[in-house]
Each structure stands twice: as structure tokens, then as C-alpha cells.
Amino acid sequence: MWNGGVFDAVLPLYNIWAVFVASKERGIGVGGVPKDTAFGLYRDGIELRGIYPSKPEIARTVCKATGPSGCDYPSLIANDPYYGGLGGEFTIGTSSHTTGTLVLRHEFGHTMINVGEEYDGGEVYSGCNAARKLEKVGWKKWLTAGEDAVLNEKRDVLLVQDYSWYNLANGPYILNFTNDGLFDRWCLLISVSGVESADSLQVFLDGTPLNWTTRGLLDRQFYDWYDNLNGFAKGPHYLEFRQGFPPTNNSHPIRQLCSVSLHEYAAESQYHFDPNFIGAFPTYSSSGWKTYRPTHELCLMRNMSSQTFCPVCKEGLLLQLMRQVSLIDGIETKCTQQPQSQKIELEVEEPPNNNMYIAKLNLVPFAHMREPGKRVKDEHFVINWFKNGKEQGEFDGLEEILLNENEMQSGDWTVRVELQTPIVRHDPDQLLVSQERIVHEFSNN
């Protein structure tokens, strides 16, 4: 979860605590009926989808065990080997080895970045990654060269959007659609569970079988088909889904078609598949409303299988978290009788005094303080020290300064720290700037 690179940009801000609470029963409930477990987690039905807590008050009590401010983003991990989760007050995931992390990082995206969906067929589209109008796009600083001059909507059409949740044991599932013949390529994306063996699922387009290879997993998985050379002919078409043969173990997830989406796209000049291209890509809600997102399929807030946030969401994540903290964890001050020659000493007109004071910043470990291998190129701190509101230029960039006692005690000292990072291009609220006053409380060494 935390070692895959997705959250590297903000890892210095995290403290992660784990609390284990034993349950009387194993697993989670289904059909809306919780088991006798610590948090009473359950699924509405048998589909691999949302998981809900029936005992939120107990979860809140457990969160308090981590101490004050120790549970800003509580997460509940269900003892269940299959896909499922939820965002909201509690970010919920499962112990699935295949989809547990996939779901958690997406749901944490909602909670920590404070954004809605990017995929089609949702209900809430809000935050830094969504815009209702082209002129309201909030990621203009990130637009690919040329887009910032004239921002155009990328041309695509959503032909099918269906949350099927259909048990394929009940027979074939057919989706009809019509097409105007004006697009150049298409993509079919489905999610399905219980298809762990070859030929357990059959997919047809206008009666022609589409090649499909199982990943050998019972868990809910995403599969896609692309045709980059041809769009659909004008007229009616249909998709058909069947199970090849019944499951052999009734204790496993059913062969279920979970969701289907079918897009048709214009040529690359009008719709960019390049994952790094940032523009205005249409997204369609469950009620047909159109909003815009920054990228095609790069971001894990749209593409659950993606291994990264898009740059816009990365920026939003860092800024949202910085609303709660300061870059300056503290300022250590101490008296010393032995000035260190490598430190800069302020030249003053007062009589010499053997007492010198060190003021040392404790910063959140960004920039050069990040762990090796996780440092961000060109990320650095800008540090300025002030006496009585006037910048002391000789101390620029220093995390530790040495001052004569008279100089320290004769003025009001403050320090300003700014984090400059390529992760953020637009910080209108100056969330990456912190300023603290030096309090003259010293102890002699």
C-alpha cells in the first residue's frame, strides 16, 4: 500500500498506526446481515462491491486508542479475501491479496484529496479533478503544451455504461447500442468475478467472440478490449456475455458480470490516449451529466488498475494534507559557550558576549530530507529569517543559525519556510508556506 509509489509524494506527512480487534466470528456478513465481528462489516448482497460497518461507534472508540490526532483517516480492513470497500468516515478495504490495495488507495484518494469520481456512471464529480465547464477547468497550470492556448473537449462517446451485477448462471446478458459511425476506435471495459478458469466467460460483439484469457482469479477483475484501427459501422449493435460452464464450488463467488462500459473515440489528434497528456476529457455521470477530467486513463481515481494518481490529483493530495500541518515541526533553541566556526555569526555593534544561541529548525522531511530513493528532483526548501520584520539575508537557506545573546534578545525573530516542489504548480492559499516566531526559552548546556 505505502511502498508502491502511489503515495510517495506525501509519505513524510504520514504516521501509520495499526490496532487489532478480535472478533467472535470470521469473515464479513452478506445480504445485509452482519456477522458477530468487531465492527459488524457486511455486504448489501453477494456482489463484490460496497462493504458497510454496522458498528461505527465501536470503530470510533478504537480510533481513540491511537491518541489525540492519531486517527485523522481511519481505515477498517475486512477479513475477506475478495474485492470490496467504501469511502467516507471510514475508508474500508479487504484483506484481498489481489484487490485489497487497489480499492484502498482509490478510497483514500476520495478521502484525502477530497474529490469525487473520475470514472463514468458515478454520482459525485467534484474537487480538483473535475470541472463542469471548459472555462472552469482548475488544472490550467498542468495542461499539455498547446492546450493552454485553446482548450478543446476531447471527442468521445459513451455507448454503453451498465452496472450489471448479473449472475451469469441466469443465462446470457445482452446489451444493445446504436452508433452514428463517426468515430475511429473503441474500447470495451468490463469487471467480472468468479471467472477463474479458461472458457468460464464468453464475450461476443455482434455475435463474434472476443478473445479473452482468465487471470486465474475468483476475485473481481477488470478486462478490456481495444480496436485502435476501426470504429463501429453506423447502426445497431449488441454485446453478449455468457458463462462457459457452471462453477464447481458453490462456496466461491458466483460468475457475475459486475460492470460494462463501451467508449468510442476520435483519432489521436482529437482524443489523446497518451497517458501523460493533460487536457479536458469528458466523463459521464449515471444521470447523463457531463464533466471534465484531466487525463484519459492515467489516474487511479478513474482507472482502478492504475498504479498512480494523475499530476492534478497528486497536487491536490499534497495541498489538502498541508491544510492540516505546518512545514515547521518546531524550533529548537539552546545556549552555547563555544561558537561553531562553520556556522554564520551575526556581526553586531554590542560589546562581545560569550553566550551564543543556536536556533535550529525541525522541518517535515521533504526535499533533501526525504528517504534516499524517494527524493523529488528540484524539490527544495526556501528559508528566510527575519528580525523585527526585516529579512536577515546572511541567514538565507540555513536550517540552523548562531546568534549573539544581545542580538537574539533585543529583537523579535521569525522564520519563514516555503517548500518549492514540481508536485505543485498552483498554491493560491500558500499552503506550502509556514512561518513561526522564535520563543526565547533557553537552557544552558
Q: For the residues of 304-360, what is the DSSP string, one character each?
A: TT-SS--HHHHHHHHHHHHTS--SEEEEEEEEESS--TTS-B---SSPP-S-EEEEE
> pLDDT band for position 205 (50/70/90)?
very high
Report the relative pairing of strands 185-193 and 256-265 from DSSP bridges.
antiparallel
Residue holding cell 482524443?
271
User: Beta-carbon neighbour count of residue 115 at 10 Å?
Assistant: 25
Task: Measure the CA–CA gap between 403 and 394, rounded to whole angstroms.
Answer: 12
pLDDT digits (tens, 9 = 90+) for 235-248: 999 999 999 999 88
Residues in the chain: 445
Q: pLDDT higher for 336 or 379?
A: 379
Q: What is the CA 100 to chain-centroid distance, rounded? A: 15
Task: Measure the CA–CA gap between 100 and 212, rounded to whole angstroms.
Answer: 24
Task: Measure the CA–CA gap between 127 and 313, rounded to whole angstroms.
Answer: 9
pTM: 0.91
Residue holding cell 493530495?
317
Half-sphere exposure for 302 (CA within 13 Å, toward CB): 26
Which residue from 238, 396, 217, 232 is spatially nearest to 305, judged by alpha carbons? Answer: 217
Answer yes or no: are the C-beta atoms of 436 and 331 closer than 8 Å. Answer: yes
Which residue from 272, 253, 204, 340 is spatially nearest to 49, judged by alpha carbons? Answer: 253
**What's the mean per-residue pLDDT of the chain?**
93
Percent of the chain with pLDDT over 70: 95
Grid cell listed for 188: 470495451
* Least confident interval from 7-11, 145-149, 254-258, 311-315: 145-149
Phi-psi region of 105 (alpha: psi -120 to 50; beta: other; left: phi over 0): alpha
Which residue from 191, 171, 162 is spatially nearest to 253, judged by alpha carbons? Answer: 191
Which residue from 356, 252, 305 is spatially nearest to 4, judged by alpha carbons? Answer: 305
pLDDT for 444: 47
> pLDDT band for position 411 (50/70/90)?
confident
Answer yes or no: are the C-beta atoms of 258 and 48 closer than 8 Å. Answer: yes
pLDDT digits (tens, 9 = 90+) for 287-319: 999 999 999 999 999 999 999 999 999 999 999
pLDDT digits (tens, 9 = 90+) for 306-356: 999 999 999 999 999 999 999 999 999 888 765 444 444 444 344 455 688
**For the chain, what is the largest distance between any 2 Cα atoms, rounded to a whole number of angstroms?**
95
Which residue from 32, 72, 22, 73 is spatially nearest to 52, judged by alpha carbons? Answer: 32
* Least confident interval from 69-78, 111-120, 346-355, 397-406: 346-355
